[in-house]
Amino acid sequence: MAYKISDDCISCGACAADCPVEAISEGDSKFVIDASVCIDCGNCAEVCPVSAPSAE
């Protein structure tokens, strides 16, 4: 199950920098995760300062 970034995202980019498969990119108002690329490693959730990413 892919991770998803909630509206709590502050667009700091910490998650994107730590994603080993580059599944995270900057969206219009927050960062977004491409579910077809996400490998469910959880790195994004571990580094996010506001706990925005979570498993769907």
Per-domain residue ranges for the chain?
Answer: 3-55
pLDDT in tens, 9-25: 999 999 999 999 999 99
CA atoms within 13 A on the CB side of 51: 0
**Beta strands 24-26 and 3-5: pairing type?**
unpaired
Q: For 1-13, what is the mean pLDDT?
A: 96
pLDDT, residue 43, reads 97
Give the separation between CA 7 and CA 54, rounded to whole angstroms: 11
The reported pTM is 0.92
Confidence of residue 1 (pLDDT cuts 50, 70, 90): confident
**3-55: CATH number:** 3.30.70.20
